[in-house]
Amino acid sequence: MGEKILLAHGSGSRLSHDLIDRILAPPLNNPILSRMDDSAVFDLSGKIAFTTDSYVVSPIFFPGGDIGRLAVCGTVNDISMSGARPLYISLALIIEEGLELEDLRRVVESIAETAAEAGVIIVTGDTKVVNRGKADRLFINTAGIGLIEGEADISGSNARPGDRIILSGGIGEHGMAVMSKREGLQFNLPITSDCAPLNHLTAAMLAASRRIHSLRDPTRGGLASTLNEFARQSGVGITIEEAKIPVHDGVRGACELLGLDPLYIANEGKLVAVVDPGDADIVLVMKTRIGSSRIVDMPAGEILPRIC
């Protein structure tokens, strides 16, 4: 059996410092974090985007990612959806007593690798250890800061009548990957999470066009919830064409088997861009393959719990 987290690791004692020195600090080391002060100090000027989120995914390792990669990608992507360039992230770990140190090491190394991929820096953090049974192995809280450059004005309230909707790729991959791992399901076609930082993609899009009105990564609630949010914020109706929405064959087959709709399944590496807004009531309509229409409303309850 490998080493495990003890309550004493969260007590501020020698074990706490040992945990930081051996497991947490080495993968994340940088000049700002290495000062180990209570606050990170850095220079910024201009309009700032700021976000925070918590990650409680179960299991903490899944096909295509883990809770650490998810935390960095989720924070980077939230900042990017405002048209900002992500710069700095905070990292708070809530660790359950009994978590294997090797699993914690894997998560922290994944955080470091993903931050490097996205080009962001972990500048401050915190660690708490809770009693066995008081958490689900590991929870992560993050906050992120980004700089909005130029005249970008990106908001879910900026959609206009006549705008086009652009989806960056196939939907439902993250949610189905997590669910299949958690429930021990195996499908003929493997399903891998799409978990990825989107800041490089959004930067390229904004460099090509300043007429992007709305951006969002369709996480919990999937594409359907995201479009409902745009419609509600902007006061418009949105029509989408089902045949043009890409769905991986493995995701489609798994959803059909389980009676789920890919439109409502979470994504962690895709974005929706709106390029126009208006005054219409909040009605989201989808043209189905057989030519009829159905209302695509907000989900009434939880479809896939604990996927981000």
Residues of the chain with CATH 3.90.650.10: 156-295
Tens of pLDDT, residues 138-163:
999 999 999 998 877 889 999 999 99
Maximal CA-CA distance, the chain: 67
Q: Where are the beta strands (DSSP E) in the chain?
A: 47-55, 61-62, 65-66, 84-96, 121-130, 138-148, 165-167, 214-216, 238-241, 272-274, 284-287, 293-295
Residues of the chain with CATH 3.30.1330.10: 7-148
Query: For residue 39, what pLDDT is reported?
Result: 73
Tens of pLDDT, residues 59-78:
999 999 999 999 999 999 99
CATH class of 156-295: alpha beta
Q: For the chain, what is the mean pLDDT?
A: 88
Are 216 and 272 in contact, with CB atoms under 8 Å apart? yes
CATH class of 7-148: alpha beta
Whether the per-residue pLDDT at 130 is higher than 90: the answer is yes
| Mean pLDDT value across residues 255-269 | 93
Q: Is pTM, for the whole model, over 0.85?
A: yes
- Terminal-residue alpha carbon distance, the chain: 29
Query: For residue 303, what pLDDT is reported?
Result: 56
Contacts (Cβ under 8 Å, ≥6 apart) of 140 = 54, 55, 67, 68, 71, 91, 92, 93, 94
